[in-house]
Amino acid sequence: MQLLDGKFVSEKIKLQIADEAANFLNDTGRKPHLVAILVGNDGGSETYVASKMKNCEKVGFKSSLYRYDTTVTEAELLDKIAEINKNADVDGLIVQLPLPKHIDPEKVTEAIDHKKDVDGFHPINLGRMMRNLPCFIPATPYGILLMLQEYGINTSGMHCVVVGRSNIVGSPMSILMARNANPGNCTVTLTHSKTKDLKEQVLQADIIIAAIGKKNFITADMVKAGAIVIDVGINREFSTETKSGFKLYGDVDFDKVAPLTSYITPVPGGVGLMTIVGLLKNTLASAKKTIY
C-alpha cells in the first residue's frame, strides 16, 4: 500500500504556481486575483474559505473576501456578482456553497461570468468539460486528477466506481474518468443512495472514488484487493482531542481498508489539500487567459 500524500504533492505544485505567479507579476504588474463570497458562518465553509484565502497569499495571489449575513437577499448577491464580473482586476470568483434556503444556487452559479468561474460549476464550463474542450474543471475533481498524474498512475482501462453524484464532485468526476484522456479512459459506474447492491458494485472497482459525505461508509468488505481508493469525504465531528475542537473523518474506514489497497488517500492530508491546488491552478489559468 502506498499513501497518496496530498501534503507533499500540494506543496510541490504550489511552488510551481508561486513561480508562475511571480512571472505574471513581472510581466503585467499585477497579481492573479481570487474573490470569494461567503454567506453566513457555517463552520465548514468558514474553514474552507479561510484556507483558500491563506493559500492565495502563500503563492503570491491577491485574494478578497466578501462576507454577508444569512439575511442577504438573492438580488443583493446577484448585484455583487455582476459588479465583480465587470471588474477587470478580478480573475476568479467563487461563491462558497451551501447557500441559505432563500437563495437559489443555480441562479447564483449562472450569474458568475463563466470566464471567471474558477470553481468550474457554470453550465458552460460543465458542458465544455463533457466535450473535452478547454474549460475550468471543478476544483476537487481537478485536484484528484493532478494527484493521480503526480504518482504516474495510468487509469486507462480500469473500472472506476464513483460513490456519490453531487454536482461538485461525483457527477463531474464520473465524466472526467470516462473521458478520452489520462487520467481517464476508465469504464465508470456512478453509484448513489438509490443504487441496488452497492457493496457488489464497489467490489468490482479497480479505483474507488468515495464522495458520499458519510464517515466510514466504505468498509473493508467492499474493497477488492489491490484497488486504488480516493477518499473525498471531509466529515467534521466535535472532538476534545484536537486544538480546533474538531476531528476530520473520511468516507472510508481507513484503518481496515488501507492494507487491502495499492494506493489510498488519507483524511486529512489527501484530497482536501488538492482541492485548493485545483482552485489555484484555475485562477492562474484565468489570469493568464490560457483557457478563455
- Hey, which residues are catalytic here? 52, 96, 119
Pick 96 or 265: Cβ nearer ligand GUN: 96
Q: Does 65 bind ligand GUN (CB under 6 A)?
A: no
Q: Give residues 142-171 in contact with ligand GUN (rule: CB under 6 A).
A: 168
Q: Does 126 bind ligand GUN (CB under 6 A)?
A: no
User: Of 66-74, 88-96, 142-150, 213-221, which segment contacts ligand GUN by CB under 6 A?
Assistant: 88-96
What is the smallest separation between the CB atom of 52 and ligand GUN, expressed in angstroms?
9
**Phi-psi domain of 247 (left: phi exceeds 0; alpha: psi -120 through 50; beta: other):** beta
Q: Does 97 bind ligand GUN (CB under 6 A)?
A: yes
Q: Does 139 bind ligand GUN (CB under 6 A)?
A: yes
> How would you class 88 by CB atoms within 10 Å of its CB: exposed for 0-12, middle for 13-18, buried for 19 or more?
exposed
What is the smallest separation between the CB atom of 22 and ligand GUN, expressed in angstroms?
26
**Residue whose CB is nearest to ligand GUN in the complex, by number:** 97
Q: Is 84 annotated as a binding residue?
A: no
Q: Is 157 annotated as a binding residue?
A: no
What is the smallest separation between the CB atom of 274 and ligand GUN, expressed in angstroms?
11
Please state the separation of Cα 269 from the chain's center in Å: 14
Q: Is 166 annotated as a binding residue?
A: yes
CA geometry: angle 35, 285, 268, nearest 5 deg: 70
| Residue from 13, 17, 77, 94 in contact with ligand GUN (CB under 6 A) | 94
Q: Is 164 annotated as a binding residue?
A: yes
Q: Does 119 bind ligand GUN (CB under 6 A)?
A: yes
Phi, psi of 89 (to 5 degrees): -80, -5
| Residue from 10, 55, 63, 96 in contact with ligand GUN (CB under 6 A) | 96
Residues contributing to the annotated binding site:
164-166, 234
Which positions lie near ligand GUN, rule CB under 6 A? 94-97, 119, 139-140, 168
Binding residues for NADP(+): 164-166, 234
